């Protein structure tokens, strides 16, 4: 048997081997996709109820007589906030079911609607005093979270009593209960009542934190990369720095949180729970990512361009800032965006600096107490109220959407501005 | 021009940091994740009802909270710490050493710990002794002699003939959790001391007694399922043979899926926990730094809101969230103590 025959014999085997290998690869990719698909499907199905909220129609008389406001009393914030809104809401509920007499039943009736209804009504009246008139106000108020889950998903726990189920039944017959798009989820801040809870506070907290991170880590990161790549002498010290930057990129993020606690809070006396400290900690974490990717981008600019600039008499600095850096920018920005996306999803370091907290007021700047999106997810997932499951999933979707947009932006920058040589 | 703008921006931000450190207008609260769901409800209501800002509440765990609280007096330290257990002597001493001498202790109510399984299977009727024998690392020798052996029990029937013949499988919190501490102390120790010769051990060698009664077995039947109680409920639904240990409020919210086991003949319910007949329940507290009461706006009002009848009374809104209230007389003495700022000593 000569060599050609031997090759021919083994050929089939080798082709089969390659086919098998390709199959393994396909299986690996498919498994990955299946898991991703299952995860997304699970989150999306859980999240859908959060975008709907149940509302109940109330008719509230707002004339001066029922409010016990004589006509000479001016309608200002003080007089308006002194009105007994809780009483008004309860009265209007009682009028819906006039045959309810027992105290116990009344209590159950009042629990149909959200405990925030009276405050919503108050804020509405204060912002629009002309509502005080002889025509009664018709408003849709939010249902309590137990009723909301019962009405939307038809699952019933013992928290919804038989009596309450009966009330809901009657409301359905009278067409006084409906579901509508849950705007509260986007306009409100954290709350312990699921129907009043929203992500605006966490979203803004994330925004302020990332703003600080971006403003610190981008200039420092690019500066370090330019110096190390273009100007620094090659010696033991720069080698040492380089190794340490690479090591820093692999340090678990909680370590940065501990560092932040020790340095920024305990030593510099900065306040806890503020985006400024959060941003500082996260920029420590993203700096290595930005430095490494910026250096790679600067390195990929062809030396011919540098040499041409130097040959025409540009100084080293002019060469770097007029030619190298602009050409490296798309790569640098891609790295920065990926670093930011990483920072957006981080909770562990923020745990140490007090950003895992219940904060209702929406942060207006970098020194207001705030929390961030992933922390909000963590806090809600641990809440006993059933309705928070849906809110948790919905917040995960929002976070995923932001991450997807950021990564798409990175791809876009790379595709459109990157020069190939 | 550019430089000027940057300088101005930096200086204003520095000033505002200092301003915040100098005078704070929100109450800072830290502490237990078990008390967190109750304290946050009160804080939110307080923020909506009054003109004060909504207090900020960090969930740090009881121990972590007390550590921050006892770090000293001053606006950079928290004003109140929540705890799912009473302050320890060592912690109290540390507080004293750091100048936090004037503390008021406020007990807000009780929290029950449920041992539950899926509604698809039979309800368990357990005793504290069953729980100890099923879950302790070392148990008395089944031959009746006064010696200890590594826990040999694999099924509930082996522990107690009245129990079903299914494998012991209990999902519970990890050792870092306050719920686990309370479970060990109330359920396991409760069963442990029912065995006469072990009870006698308490007087002779307290630390050996404690180690025996509180140590949970590590050979498989007890599964650490993480701090998240919702996760345990989900797992119970998937696995009808398992039992799970978690807070009463989670049982109440999920009682269409899971059922609480009877312990010593009592189901975990509002009434049984509040009258003390259900044995596995623990008190919940918060501690107030009285030195801050005058300098932080709204402190007194917040305390008043928290201890009012509408909040923690028999019909209060915290009950809706699963808190088990104190008795009426306990509440009225508590209210007085809070208003007077009664100092607590240890």
**pLDDT for res A227:** 94
Q: Is the pLDDT of residue B16 over 90?
A: no
The average pLDDT across B103-126 equals 91
**pLDDT for res B8:** 55
Report the first-to-last Cα separation within chain B, whole angstroms.
62
* CB distance A84 to A155 below 8 Å: no
Q: Which of B59, B76, B322 sits opposite A357 (nearest CB)?
A: B59
**pLDDT for res A65:** 81
Task: From A206, A209, A184, select the one nearest A197 (Cα to Cα).
Answer: A184
Q: Which of A116, A191, A356 sits opposite B59 (nearest CB)?
A: A356
The conformation of residue A261, written as its DSSP 8-state character, comes to I
Q: Which of B53, B230, B255 sits opposite A361 (nearest CB)?
A: B53
Q: Considering chain B, what is the average pLDDT of its residues?
A: 86
**pLDDT for res B17:** 52
Chain A: give the shortest CA distance to residue B17, in Å: 7
Q: Is the pLDDT of residue B5 over 80?
A: no
3-state helix, strand, coil in chain B (%, to 5): 45, 20, 35
**pLDDT for res B4:** 56
Q: Does B270 touch chain A (CB under 8 A)?
A: no
Q: Write the pLDDT tens digit of every residue in A249-292.
A: 889 989 999 999 999 988 898 888 999 999 999 999 999 999 99
**pLDDT for res A340:** 93
Q: Inspect the interface and report whether the beta carbons of B13 and A367 lie closer than 8 Å.
A: yes
Task: From A263, A286, A272, select the one nearest A214 (Cα to Cα).
Answer: A286
The CA angle B181-B186-B188, to the nearest 5 degrees, is: 85
The conformation of residue A231, written as its DSSP 8-state character, comes to I
Q: Does B254 touch chain A (CB under 8 A)?
A: yes
What are the φ/ψ torsions at residue B169 (nearest 5 degrees)? -145, 105
The average pLDDT across B131-157 equals 86
Nearest CA in chain B to A351: B60
Q: Write the pLDDT tens digit of every residue in B237-275.
A: 899 989 999 988 888 888 888 999 999 889 998 888 888
Task: From A193, A199, A167, A147, select the one nearest A371 (Cα to Cα).
Answer: A199
Q: Inspect the interface and report whether the beta carbons of B47 and A361 lie closer than 8 Å.
A: yes
The average pLDDT across B7-16 equals 53
The average pLDDT across B324-337 equals 88
Chain B: give the shortest CA distance to residue A282, in Å: 19
CATH 1.10.3720.10: which residues of chain A? 200-417
In this structure, of A257-266, A363-372, B186-195, the range with the lowest mean pLDDT score is B186-195
Residue B235, exposed/middle/buried by CB under 10 A (0-12, 13-18, 19+)? middle
**pLDDT for res A339:** 92
Position of tokens 């006084």? A176
**pLDDT for res B211:** 85
Q: Is the pLDDT of residue B3 over 80?
A: no
Q: Find which of A360, A361, A386, A389 to mutate to test the B interface (most B CBs within 10 Å of its CB).
A: A360
The conformation of residue B57, written as its DSSP 8-state character, comes to E
Task: From B317, B272, B345, select the one nearest B40 (Cα to Cα).
Answer: B317
- For B234-283, the DSSP string reads HHHHH-TT-EEEEEHHHHHHTTTTEEEPEETTB---HHHHHTT-SS-EEE
Q: How far is Cα B5 from Cα A380, in angstroms, rounded to an integer?
A: 40
Q: Which of B40, B45, B250 sits opposite A358 (nearest CB)?
A: B40
Q: How far is Cα A113 from Cα A111, in angstroms, rounded to an integer?
A: 5
Q: Inspect the interface and report whether the beta carbons of B249 and A158 lie closer than 8 Å.
A: no
The average pLDDT across A335-358 equals 91
Position of tokens 């948790």? A392
Q: Find which of A357, A370, A386 to mutate to test the B interface (most B CBs within 10 Å of its CB).
A: A357
Q: How confident is the model at residue A315 (pLDDT cuts 50, 70, 90)?
A: very high
Q: How confident is the model at residue B319 (pLDDT cuts 50, 70, 90)?
A: confident
For B26-111+283-340, CATH number out of 3.10.180.10, 2.40.37.10, 3.40.190.10, 3.30.70.3270 equals: 3.40.190.10
Q: Does B250 touch chain A (CB under 8 A)?
A: yes
Boundaries of every domain in chain B: 26-111+283-340, 119-281
Domains B26-111+283-340 and B119-281 share a fold: yes
Q: How far is Cα B252 from Cα B267, in angstroms, rounded to an integer?
A: 12
Position of tokens 């999803």? A345
Q: Is the pLDDT of residue B19 over 50?
A: no
CA separation, residue B302 to residues A109, B43, B136, B333 (Å)? 28, 8, 43, 18
- Counting every residue written for chain A, the total comes to 421
* CB distance B98 to B287 below 8 Å: no
Nearest CA in chain B to A160: B253
Q: Inspect the interface and report whether the beta carbons of B20 and A360 lie closer than 8 Å.
A: no
- Report chain A residues touching chain B, CB-CB < 8 A: 107, 111, 115-116, 119, 155-159, 191-193, 269-273, 276, 354, 356-361, 365-367, 369, 379, 381-386, 389
In this structure, of B100-104, B153-157, B177-181, B291-295, the range with the lowest mean pLDDT score is B177-181
Pairing of strands B243-247, B103-118: antiparallel
Q: Does B58 touch chain A (CB under 8 A)?
A: yes
CA separation, residue B274 to residues A401, B43, B268, B328 (Å)? 46, 24, 10, 11
The conformation of residue A255, written as its DSSP 8-state character, comes to H
Q: Write the pLDDT tens digit of every residue in B28-48.
A: 999 988 899 999 999 999 998
**pLDDT for res B13:** 54
Q: How confident is the model at residue B305 (pLDDT cuts 50, 70, 90)?
A: very high
Pairing of strands B170-172, B222-224: parallel
CA separation, residue A268 to residues A49, A354, B17 (Å)? 45, 16, 11
Find which of A126-135, A264-273, A389-398, B213-222 is predicted with most confidence, using mean pLDDT. A389-398
Higher pLDDT, B18 or A170: A170
Q: How confident is the model at residue B180 (pLDDT cuts 50, 70, 90)?
A: confident
Q: Does B316 touch chain A (CB under 8 A)?
A: no
Q: Is the pLDDT of residue A316 over 90?
A: yes
Two tokens, residue A64: 């001066």
Architecture of domain B119-281: 3-Layer(aba) Sandwich (3.40)
Two tokens, residue A12: 């089939």
CATH of the domain spanning A200-417? 1.10.3720.10
């Amino acid at each position: 048997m000569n060599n050609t025959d031997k090759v021919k014999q083994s050929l089939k085997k080798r082709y089969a081997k390659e086919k098998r290998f390709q199959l393994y690869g396909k299986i690996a990719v498919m498994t990955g996709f299946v898991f991703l698909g299952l995860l997304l499907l699970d989150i999306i199905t859980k999240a859908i109820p959060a975008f709907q909220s149940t509302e109940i129609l109330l008719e509230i008389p707002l004339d001066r007589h029922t409010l016990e406001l004589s006509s000479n009393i001016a309608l200002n914030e003080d007089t308006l906030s002194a009105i007994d809104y809780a009483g008004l809401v309860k009265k209007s509920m009682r009028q819906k079911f006039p045959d309810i007499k027992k105290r116990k039943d009344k209590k159950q009736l009042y629990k149909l609607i959200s405990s925030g209804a009276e405050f919503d009504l108050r804020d509405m009246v204060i912002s629009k005093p002309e509502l005080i008139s002889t025509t009664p106000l018709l408003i849709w108020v939010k249902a309590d979270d137990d009723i909301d889950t019962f009405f939307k998903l038809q699952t019933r726990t013992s928290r919804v009593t038989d009596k309450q189920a009966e009330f809901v039944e009657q409301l359905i017959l009278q067409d006084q209960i409906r579901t509508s798009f849950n705007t509260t989820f986007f306009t409100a801040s954290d709350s312990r009542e699921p129907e009043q809870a929203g992500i605006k506070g966490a979203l803004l907290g994330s925004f302020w934190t990332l703003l600080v991170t971006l403003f610190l880590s981008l200039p420092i990161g690019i500066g370090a990369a330019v110096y190390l790549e273009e100007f620094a002498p090659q010696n033991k010290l720069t080698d040492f720095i380089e190794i340490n930057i690479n090591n820093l990129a692999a340090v678990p993020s909680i370590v940065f949180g501990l560092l932040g606690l020790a340095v920024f809070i305990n030593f510099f006396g900065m306040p806890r729970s503020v985006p400024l400290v959060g941003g500082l900690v996260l920029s420590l974490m993203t700096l290595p990512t930005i430095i490494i990717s910026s250096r790679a981008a600067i390195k990929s600019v062809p030396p011919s361009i540098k040499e041409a600039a130097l040959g025409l008499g540009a100084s080293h600095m002019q060469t770097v800032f007029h030619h190298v850096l602009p050409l490296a920018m798309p790569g640098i920005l891609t790295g920065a965006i990926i670093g930011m996306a990483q920072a957006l999803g981080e909770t562990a370091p923020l745990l140490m600096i007090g950003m895992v907290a219940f904060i209702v007021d929406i942060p207006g700047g970098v020194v207001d107490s705030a929390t961030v999106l992933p922390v909000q997810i963590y806090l809600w997932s641990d809440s006993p109220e059933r309705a928070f499951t849906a809110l948790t999933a919905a917040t995960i979707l929002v976070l995923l959407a932001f991450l997807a947009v950021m990564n798409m932006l990175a791809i876009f920058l790379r595709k459109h501005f990157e020069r190939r040589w | 021009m550019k430089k000027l703008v940057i300088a101005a921006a930096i200086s204003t931000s520095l000033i505002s940091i200092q301003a915040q450190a100098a005078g704070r207008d929100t109450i800072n609260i830290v502490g237990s994740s078990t008390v967190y769901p109750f304290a946050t409800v009160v804080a939110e209501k307080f923020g909506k009802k009054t003109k004060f800002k909504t207090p900020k509440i960090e969930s740090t765990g009881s121990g972590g909270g007390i550590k921050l609280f006892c770090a000293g007096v001053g606006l950079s330290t928290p004003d109140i710490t929540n705890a799912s257990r009473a302050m320890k002597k060592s912690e109290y001493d540390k507080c004293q050493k750091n100048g936090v001498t004037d503390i008021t202790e406020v007990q807000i109510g009780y929290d029950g710990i449920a041992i539950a399984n899926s509604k698809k299977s039979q309800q368990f009727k357990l005793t504290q002794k069953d729980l100890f024998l099923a879950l302790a690392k070392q148990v008395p020798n089944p031959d009746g002699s006064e010696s200890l052996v590594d826990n040999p029990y694999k099924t509930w029937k082996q522990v107690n003939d009245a129990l079903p013949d299914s494998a012991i499988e209990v999902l519970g919190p990890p050792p870092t959790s306050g719920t686990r501490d309370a479970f060990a102390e109330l359920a396991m120790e409760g069963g442990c001391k029912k065995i006469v010769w072990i009870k006698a051990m308490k007087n002779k060698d307290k630390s050996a007694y404690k180690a025996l009664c509180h140590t949970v077995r590590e050979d498989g039947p007890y599964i650490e399922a993480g701090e998240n109680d919702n996760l345990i409920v989900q797992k119970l639904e998937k696995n009808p043979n398992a039992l799970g240990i978690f807070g009463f409020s989670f049982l109440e919210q999920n009682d269409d899926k899971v059922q609480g086991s009877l312990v010593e003949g009592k189901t975990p319910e509002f009434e049984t926990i509040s009258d003390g007949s259900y044995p596995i329940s623990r008190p919940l507290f918060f501690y107030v730094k009285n030195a801050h009461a005058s300098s932080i706006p709204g402190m007194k009002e917040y305390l008043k809101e928290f201890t009012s009848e509408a909040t923690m009374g028999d019909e209060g809104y915290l009950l809706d969230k699963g808190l088990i209230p104190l008795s009426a007389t306990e509440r009225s003495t508590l209210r007085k103590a809070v208003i007077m700022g009664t100092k607590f000593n240890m």
